[in-house]
Structure formats: structure tokens, C-alpha cells
């Protein structure tokens, strides 16, 4: 499906962030990059970008970006960029003769919005507008600037920034038939109104605008600095994963996202961060091999720092659309090596001090439990995701808890206690997961027989 992106405006209220709004950087990517990459992740393949103010700079950027990412991006010039946005839409009239997605360059959004919108069945001469019916408690919306919509029985009756009666907000995402062009032209002729909303009103009068309610999904119009900052905070809070354990969720993630906020501005890659986290664990394990409380505590502090930084690789990958199957696998491999080195170092530390073979056995059970805990995580997480949904959290014993136990145990200089607790927790958790997965398998077999 084709995608038309309006990026012709100046964005004077974001001037402190950059001269050209489409090129303003937001958490490591320009707004135009983020918009296109999000749309591409939803299956859109051909992009038409309407440029205006500082158009030569935007077009030069898009040419380079399209080559780097192997994307089909066509720049459309609007010399009347200072006028209403409907004229920007009309500039693409000769290029789009089929159903297409229409969106704005300065709108951030959950990809679920586009996935829902592009899968809608649209009638000839119809337009579908994604609306947010949460008009009473949406703190991310500037009520004085947002375009309001009146919806009844799934159809839009009225739209505009100053209408008195409304029950939804215009999110700025449209699934359009080519009738939108004719409607804007008619709006200009009849009402001297060259806004996109004017064209939508023409179609609404013909009962040809359907509303798709996407309330509950994130979207935001970055009109000014206040909205920009609010959006940054919201996006960073959303970086937590459904599989985050309690330590990751409440301790590691709040710190790692603050680090990520600065790292996204650099050229550091997620894989480089994964390797750096592994190196910290490696240094930590060598410190464990030394005798003395100071080196033990130093190693534990390094391990906890590594655990926090280990969250940054995935955060940057998600923010900058750099997630790859190899990256996830590479991070998992390094984590397993790091776990082995840490537990080996702790086992050697206590064995060298006491020369008791029992400590080797305890260390072995901690190590094997940790490895099997990681091995069983994939199937267990998949089952929890299926049961609870991709955005729900659940209690999970994982790497974040194990490393915090190492840190706390080193703090009170109780290495045997560390190894014993990790061995008990991980192996009991593994047995619990096997029982849950076995029960799920038996339930599925029973349903098949029925």
C-alpha cells in the first residue's frame, strides 16, 4: 500500500529543535525517518512525501535515506507550503489513483493504529479516519489545538478545531480513496476552504467518511516544545517489555532508559552495547577470583551496572528500528557466557577461601539452574504472552533477579548464600515452568480430542 506523508510546514514552534520540522531529531531519528520506518514496519512500501519549507534540504535527506534503507520514496514539491494543508494533499493527485494511507510527519503513534487502518475494507469514494474517542482524560492532547470530530453510528458528521459538539479527536491518520482530492477541490470552490478538514467535511456531508476508533493506542501531535518533551517521556516509559522481571521493571529500566536517552544521539549500535555489557561481567568475574571484600563488592557493583546497561541495547534497537534476529540472538549468547563467568567466579571465590568440595556442588546447581532458566524462558514467555496479551506484565524470575541477588549477597559478604538462593530459585522456577507448559499441552490435546 502507498503512503502519503505531509511534511511541507515550517514548524516554527519547534524552531529551537531545528530549522526544518521533518528533520528535527526525536530520540535518535529525525521525525521523517521515524514516520517512514514505523509505516514500513506496518507493511507500507511506497512513500510520497510532500515537501515545502526548506524543501531542498528535506529532499536531499530523503534521497540519501532512501538509498541507505532501500526504500521507495518520492518527493512531491509544494511551493504553497505556507497555505493550508489541503493544498499539500492535492499536490499528489496525479500520483495516487488507488487507496492510500495519509499521515502527518509530526505525529507519533503506535504501529497498531496503521495496522488497524490499512486492513479496513474501504468503499469506492470513501475515506476512513482514525479517531480517538477518549476526549475526557487524554493528557497527551492539546485541547486548544487538536481537531475535533463528531461521530455517530461509525460515521463522521462534522470535523474542525472550533466545532462546539464533538465526541472524538482527529488523530491525523486516514485511509483514503482518490475521492479525497475531488473533495478538497470542491471545498476550495464552494467554501474557499483549502484545509484537509474542509475536504473531509464535504465527504462527511455525502455520508462518505467512516470513523475507526483507536482509543487506547498512543498517538501524539508534536506541535510545540511542551508536546515534544511530553512525547519523549511517554515513549521512554513504553520501552519496558512484557517479559521484564520485577527488578528490570522497577529498578533497571528506569535507569537504563535515562542512559538510552543520551546513547540514541550517538552512532553506538545495540550489538556494541551488548558486548560492552558482557565485558563488564567478564571484569566482574575476574574480580570475584580475587580474595577480599573490596574486590568482591566491586565485582558485584560492576555486574549490577552491566545488568542495567544490558537493557539499553534493546531500547536503542526499538527506538531506532535497528532490531534484528541476529541482535537478539547475539545478546542472548553473550548473556549466557556472562552468567557462566559470574557464577564460576563466585564459586571459585568461596572455594579458594574454604577448600570445601560442597561449595563446588552448590555452585554447579546455581549454574545449571541459571542455564535452564534461560533455556525455558522462550517457551514460557510465549505462553504468557498468548494468555495475557503482549502488553501485560507477569511475575518472572530471570536474569535481573539473579544479578541483584549477587549484588546484595556480595554487599553482606555471603557468597554461599548467593549461590544457594540462585540454585534454589532457578531450579524451582524451572520445575514450575515445566509443569505449567505440560498442563497447557495436555489442555490443548484435550481440546483437539473434543
Q: What is the pLDDT of residues 104-131, one digit of tens each?
A: 999 999 999 999 999 999 988 999 999 9
List of residues 6+ apart from 76 with CB closer than 8 A? 48, 49, 50, 51, 91, 92, 95
| Structure confidence by residue, pLDDT tens digits, 212-234 | 999 989 999 998 899 999 999 99
Topology of the domain covering 2-230: Spore Coat Polysaccharide Biosynthesis Protein SpsA; Chain A (3.90.550)
Return the bridge partners of 213, or none.
Answer: 131
Which of 243, 170, 241 shows the shortest CA–CA distance to 200? Answer: 170
Residue 131: strand pairing partners? 170, 213
Distance, in Å, from the CA atom of 164 to the CA atom of 160, rounded to the nearest integer, reads 9
Asked whether 5 and 35 are in contact (CB, 8 A), the reply is yes
Closest CA to 200 of 144, 148, 165: 148
> Exposure pattern of 353-376 as b/e (b: 16+ CB <10 Å)?
eeeeeebeebbebbbebbbbbbeb
Q: Backbone phi, then psi, for 105, in 5-degree steps?
A: -70, -25
Spatial neighbors of 3 by CB under 8 A, at least 6 apart, are 36, 39, 44, 46, 47, 48, 100, 101, 102, 103
The confidence score (pLDDT) of residue 144 equals 87
Query: What residue ranges do the domains of the chain occupy?
Result: 2-230, 239-449
Domains 2-230 and 239-449 share a fold: no
User: Is the predicted pLDDT of residue 405 greater than 60, yes or no?
Assistant: yes
Q: Strand 100-104 and strand 168-176: pairing?
A: antiparallel
pTM of the predicted protein model: 0.86
The cell for 311 is: 537493557
Grid coordinates belonging to 412: 553482606
CA distances from 48 to 42, 77, 115, 449 (A): 16, 10, 19, 52
Does residue 391 have a pLDDT over 60? Answer: no
Assess contact for 350 and 409: CB atoms under 8 A.
no
End-to-end CA distance of the chain: 42
- CATH number for 239-449: choose from 1.20.120.1760, 1.10.10.10, 3.50.50.60, 1.10.3720.10: 1.20.120.1760
Residue 417: the pLDDT is 94
Mean pLDDT value across the chain: 92
pLDDT tens for 231-246 read 999 999 888 877 788 8
Amino acid at each position: 500500500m502507498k503512503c502519503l506523508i505531509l511534511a511541507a510546514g515550517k514548524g516554527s514552534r519547534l524552531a529551537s529543535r531545528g530549522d526544518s520540522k521533518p528533520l528535527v531529531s526525536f530520540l535518535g531519528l529525525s521525525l521523517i525517518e521515524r514516520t517512514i520506518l514505523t509505516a514500513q514496519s506496518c507493511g507500507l512500501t511506497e512513500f510520497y512525501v510532500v515537501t515545502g519549507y526548506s524543501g531542498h534540504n528535506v529532499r536531499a535527506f530523503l534521497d540519501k535515506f532512501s538509498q541507505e534503507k532501500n526504500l521507495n520514496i518520492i518527493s512531491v514539491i509544494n511551493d504553497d507550503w505556507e497555505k493550508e494543508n489541503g493544498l499539500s494533499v492535492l499536490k499528489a493527485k496525479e500520483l495516487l489513483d488507488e487507496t492510500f494511507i495519509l499521515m502527518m510527519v509530526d505525529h507519533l503513534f503506535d504501529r497498531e493504529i496503521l495496522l488497524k487502518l490499512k486492513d479496513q475494507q474501504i468503499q469506492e469514494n470513501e475515506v476512513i479516519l482514525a479517531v480517538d474517542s477518549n476526549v475526557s482524560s487524554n493528557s497527551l492532547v492539546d485541547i486548544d489545538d487538536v481537531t475535533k470530530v463528531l461521530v455517530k453510528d461509525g460515521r463522521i458528521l462534522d470535523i474542525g478545531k472550533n466545532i462546539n459538539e464533538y465526541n472524538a479527536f482527529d488523530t491525523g491518520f486516514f485511509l483514503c480513496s482518490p475521492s479525497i482530492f475531488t473533495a478538497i477541490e470542491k471545498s476550495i470552490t464552494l467554501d474557499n476552504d483549502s484545509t484537509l478538514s474542509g475536504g473531509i467535511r464535504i465527504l462527511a456531508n455525502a455520508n462518505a467518511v467512516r470513523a475507526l476508533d483507536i482509543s487506547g493506542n498512543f498517538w501524539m501531535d508534536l506541535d510545540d516544545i511542551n508536546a515534544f518533551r511530553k512525547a519523549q517521556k511517554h515513549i521512554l516509559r513504553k520501552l519496558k517489555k512484557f517479559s521484564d522481571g520485577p527488578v528490570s521493571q522497577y529498578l533497571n529500566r528506569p535507569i537504563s532508559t535515562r542512559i538510552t536517552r543520551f546513547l540514541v544521539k550517538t552512532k553506538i549500535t545495540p550489538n556494541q552495547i551488548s558486548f560492552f555489557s558482557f565485558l563488564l561481567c567478564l571484569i566482574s568475574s575476574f574480580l570475584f577470583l580475587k580474595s577480599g571484600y573490596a574486590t568482591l563488592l566491586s565485582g558485584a557493583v560492576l555486574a549490577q551496572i552491566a545488568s542495567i546497561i544490558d537493557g539499553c541495547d534493546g531500547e536503542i534497537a526499538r527506538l531506532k528500528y535497528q532490531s534484528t534476529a541476529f541482535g537478539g540472538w547475539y545478546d542472548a549468547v553473550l548473556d549466557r557466557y556472562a552468567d557462566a563467568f559470574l557464577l564460576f567466579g563466585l564459586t571459585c571465590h568461596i572455594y579458594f577461601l574454604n577448600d570445601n568440595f560442597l561449595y563446588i556442588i552448590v555452585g554447579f546447581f546455581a549454574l545449571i539452574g541459571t542455564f535452564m532458566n534461560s533455556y525455558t524462558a522462550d517457551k514460557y514467555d510465549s505462553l504468557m504472552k498468548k494468555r495475557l496479551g503482549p502488553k501485560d506484565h507477569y511475575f518472572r524470575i530471570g536474569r535481573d533477579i539473579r544479578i541483584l541477588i549477587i549484588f546484595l549477597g556480595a554487599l553482606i559478604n555471603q557468597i554461599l548464600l548467593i549461590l544457594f538462593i540462585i540454585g534454589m530459585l532457578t531450579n524451582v522456577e524451572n520445575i514450575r515452568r515445566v509443569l505449567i507448559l505440560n498442563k497447557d499441552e495436555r489442555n490443548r490435546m484435550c481440546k483437539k480430542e473434543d
